Amino acid sequence: MSLAAVVLVVVATVSIGTFGLRLSRTTSDFYVASRTVSPLWNASAIGGEYLSAASFLGIAGLILAYGADMLWLPVGWTGGYLVLLVLVSAPLRRSGAYTLPDFAEARLESMRVRRAASVLVVLIGWFYLMPQFQSAGLVLRTLTGAPVWAGGLLVAVVVVVNVLSGGMRSITFVQAFQYWLKLTALAVPVIFLLLAWRGDGMPGITDQQWLVPLAGTREHPVYATYSVILATFLGTMGLPHVLVRFYTNPDGRAARRTTLVVLGLLGAFYLLPALYGALGRIYAPDLLVSGHGDAVVLTLPERVVGGALGDLLGALVTGGAFAAFLSTSSGLTVSVAGVIAQDILHGGVRSFRVATVLAVAMPLMLATMARALPVADVVGLAFAVAASTFCPLLVLGIWWRRLTDAGALAGLLVSGGLACTAVMWTIVSGPLRGWPGVLLAQPAAWTVPIAFGVMVVVSLLTPGRVPAGVARTMVRLHAPETLDVDRGDWHPRGGA
């Protein structure tokens, strides 16, 4: 039954994707859906793309394991959009950039900063894709007993086929569909779970350590909490697949309104994982012993509701999980491939195709090599890298005229290097004990201040390198579109 749901989601995704095929022809269609997407579609698409395996499966798993402290993850993943809304949404849309490297080039007029940004986009994308493939492997293994790499490979192939056949246009529709599918797939079963729980006489949770914040079993919970908050609130704006979505808004004002809708959609979704985590604590504490916390969402319906209905609900959540793998992976793949195609290959539709395969192959390999960490933890690391590189680049670039190319480059290299090292260490060789372990597993609290500090100090030391066109760029970023002013003649590369 669950396997049938997986097949259904895959077929639906591919067919909706191919349906959009005839609509996408030119290069700019391929990348950004020709900017003809309406705000609600766009917000649903942002939500659909954003809610990954980490949100769908991972949060509930971590809450099951560690309790109240983990509630900060979904809070931060939503709150990140609030910070994004107030600090970057409208100016970013007005910049006209498709990708983060585009923004870096437009603002700082430097190819070197552009290239550094490209490398970081690819790295963040890979760190984010890897856990998606790993979770797909785990889910398919629990369903069929297939080897762990099989699920990742399945997701990778579907994503490549889908991206290559439809490009961004179809992806927008696929993503919007995926949001509502994911919401339904968590919301419907939870109703039956709560009914069954009431039928049981509403058993409570007595474990105080689990219920109360900062009392859990993780080391240095106060530092870890603040570091997670920093990484998630500031990292969202720096994720490669988020910016492309903003380009599909017609103007800066629409970008703001879309973000507002996104906040509502995400808030609605994130009410659910905590319920799964808490119910899991009551009904499936054994998952912790076996180390399969990430499977709690998939396990509960069968275990608590049971019977044919339990099977059906189980199939629904499994389908939703695959929707999560496919949607996030597609969005990331489009973004990473776009950057590889434009900045490493020579651009155009053919390069985009080659780049798509490259974008997926590397994290697929990583997924088979790396240790199995909780999916939400690994995604959190991608946020930490984004927060310590693109967040300062965007915030300073938009609001501070005196940012120079040298300052931006130094900040990206120093803090991006530190954050990536911490992430690789955690993924490959595993957490250390004590302070070093916590600092490496939650690097944002020290790498974000370093990033801002380096960018500001180096910029102040190189005042002669302030870009010549900064005044015009500021007009472009901040003047509302209703005004007829000269916004400069910069255009993103690869655009029509």
Partner 1 sequence: MNDDDTPPAVEPTAPPGERSESSDAEGPRAYPHPEEPSKRDEPPSGARQSNRVLVTSPRTRAATRPRHPGTREIDEQTGLGEVYMRSLIRSQLRLALSVCVAVTGVIGGLPALFLLAPGLGDLRLLGVPLPWLLLAVLIYPLFVVCAWWYVRQAERVEQDFAELVDHR
Asked whether the CA dihedral 86, 91, 97, 101 is positive or negative, the reply is: negative
Q: Tell me the two tokens of residue 320.
A: 């939703």
Contacts of 89 (CB under 8 A, 6+ apart): 246, 252, 255, 256, 258, 259
Q: How many residues bind partner 1 (CB under 8 A)?
A: 52
| Phi, psi dihedral angles at 382 (to 5 degrees) | -60, -40
The CA distance from 123 to 212, in Å, is 36
Q: Which is nearer to partner 1, 308 or 486 (CB)?
A: 486
Q: Which is nearer to partner 1, 267 or 453 (CB)?
A: 267
| Cβ neighbour number for residue 135 with a 10 Å cutoff | 33
Q: Which is nearer to partner 1, 207 or 286 (CB)?
A: 207
To partner 1, the closest distance from the beta carbon of 269 in angstroms equals 9
Per rule CB under 8 A, is residue 388 in the interface with partner 1? no
Segment contacting partner 1 by CB under 8 A, of 116-124, 129-137, 158-166, 218-226? 218-226
The CA distance from 150 to 140, in Å, is 7
Q: Which is nearer to partner 1, 85 or 136 (CB)?
A: 85
Q: What is the number of alpha carbons within 13 Å of residue 307 lying toward its C-beta?
A: 5
The CA distance from 308 to 251, in Å, is 49
From candidates 213, 449, 453, 495, binder to partner 1 by CB under 8 A: 213
From candidates 8, 195, 212, 496, binder to partner 1 by CB under 8 A: 212
Contacts of 248 (CB under 8 A, 6+ apart): 32, 33, 35, 37, 42, 45, 168, 172
Asked whether the CA dihedral 423, 122, 380, 157 is positive or negative, the reply is: negative
The CA distance from 323 to 54, in Å, is 12
To partner 1, the closest distance from the beta carbon of 211 in angstroms equals 5
Per rule CB under 8 A, is residue 7 in the interface with partner 1? no
Phi-psi region of 467 (alpha: psi -120 to 50; beta: other; left: phi over 0): beta
To partner 1, the closest distance from the beta carbon of 278 in angstroms equals 8
Largest CA distance in the chain: 72
Q: Locate tokens 């275990």: which residue?
A: 303
The CA distance from 202 to 195, in Å, is 9
Segment contacting partner 1 by CB under 8 A, of 65-73, 154-162, 405-413, 443-451? 65-73
Q: What is the number of alpha carbons within 13 Å of residue 454 lying toward its C-beta?
A: 22
To partner 1, the closest distance from the beta carbon of 371 in angstroms equals 29
Per rule CB under 8 A, is residue 236 in the interface with partner 1? no
Q: Which is nearer to partner 1, 28 or 78 (CB)?
A: 78
Q: Tell me the two tokens of residue 458.
A: 């180096």
Q: Tell me the two tokens of residue 19.
A: 């349906």
- Collapsing DSSP to helix, strand or coil, 50 comes out as helix
490 alpha-carbon distance from chain centroid = 28
Segment contacting partner 1 by CB under 8 A, of 29-37, 309-317, 343-351, 476-484? 476-484
**Selection from 296, 339, 324, 380 nearest residue 74 by Cα:** 380
Per rule CB under 8 A, is residue 60 in the interface with partner 1? no
From candidates 21, 75, 187, 344, binder to partner 1 by CB under 8 A: 75
Which positions from 78 through 107 interact with partner 1, judged by CB under 8 A?
78-79, 81-83, 85-87, 90
Per rule CB under 8 A, is residue 399 in the interface with partner 1? yes
Per rule CB under 8 A, is residue 72 in the interface with partner 1? yes
Q: Which string of x and - marks every residue 249-288 that binds partner 1 (by CB under 8 A)?
A: ----x--xx-xx--xx-xxx-xx--x---x----------
Per rule CB under 8 A, is residue 496 in the interface with partner 1? no
Q: Which is nearer to partner 1, 157 or 471 (CB)?
A: 471
Residue type at 224?
Answer: A
Q: Which string of x and - marks every residue 188-207 that binds partner 1 (by CB under 8 A)?
A: ----------------x---
To partner 1, the closest distance from the beta carbon of 176 in angstroms equals 20
Q: Which is nearer to partner 1, 152 or 235 (CB)?
A: 235
From candidates 199, 208, 307, 489, binder to partner 1 by CB under 8 A: 208
Which residues would be at the binding site for partner 1 (CB under 8 A)? Answer: 68, 71-72, 75, 78-79, 81-83, 85-87, 90, 204, 208, 211-215, 222, 225-226, 229, 233, 253, 256-257, 259-260, 263-264, 266-268, 270-271, 274, 278, 399, 471-472, 474-475, 478-480, 482-486
